[in-house]
Amino acid sequence: MGPQPDNCQQQVSCTLLRPNNGRAYFEAGPVVWIQPPPRVQPLRYVERLLRRARLSDAEALRRKFELPQGRWLFHELNWEEVALPIGVGWTKRKRTPPVDLGFAGASDQVLFCALVLGLCNLAFYDLDRPVVWTNQRLSRRLQLYRPCAFYAD
């Protein structure tokens, strides 16, 4: 049969979020979600707010807000990970970086979050994509991450 194989055990650890040199590969961005009133579908709620803002369609919102530039990855959060008011806020793990959104009121905050959610597909946020609103997309709670140095090495 042959000699016995050598058994070898190794421990390997790796992280994508922060390498050994301390420079982050991904920078945490805003946390976005909306919570419509009870028994109201998210799409219907956002469309109502859009009409109140006297805007014709979702694409018209792009001119109203300063959106995160480029392509961002995201992580879908559980309800337990989301706390504080609707929209950009905190997670249990840490506070998200401050983002100046120039909100005029709660409806603007919801419309900003709806716009960002509409620009997210299954894997990433991209400002160049068309805005697509569905009940499923508007029901998500997302933490955005900007890739910083991951591809630069």
What single DSSP character describes residue 82? E
- Is residue 67 situated within a structural domain? yes
- Is residue 68 situated within a structural domain? yes
Tell me: the pLDDT tens digits for 9-22? Answer: 666 555 555 555 66
- Measured CA to CA, the distance from residue 35 to residue 121 in angstroms comes to 19
Residue 37 confidence class, pLDDT cut points 50, 70, 90? confident
Cβ(53)–Cβ(44) below 8 Å: no
- Is residue 12 situated within a structural domain? no
- Is residue 79 situated within a structural domain? yes
Under DSSP, is residue 20 helix (H, G, I), strand (E, B) or coil? coil
Containing 143, the helix (H) or strand (E) segment is strand 142-147
What is the pLDDT at residue 23? Answer: 63
What is the pLDDT at residue 44? Answer: 93
- Is residue 75 situated within a structural domain? yes
- Measured CA to CA, the distance from residue 135 to residue 55 in angstroms comes to 20
- Is residue 11 situated within a structural domain? no
Residue 135's domain comprises 27-147
- Is residue 73 situated within a structural domain? yes
Cβ(32)–Cβ(88) below 8 Å: yes
How many separate domains does the chain show?
1
Tell me: the pLDDT tens digits for 40-97? Answer: 999 999 999 999 989 888 888 888 888 988 889 898 988 777 654 444 443 344 444 4
- Is residue 21 situated within a structural domain? no
* Strand pairing class (124-126; 26-32): unpaired
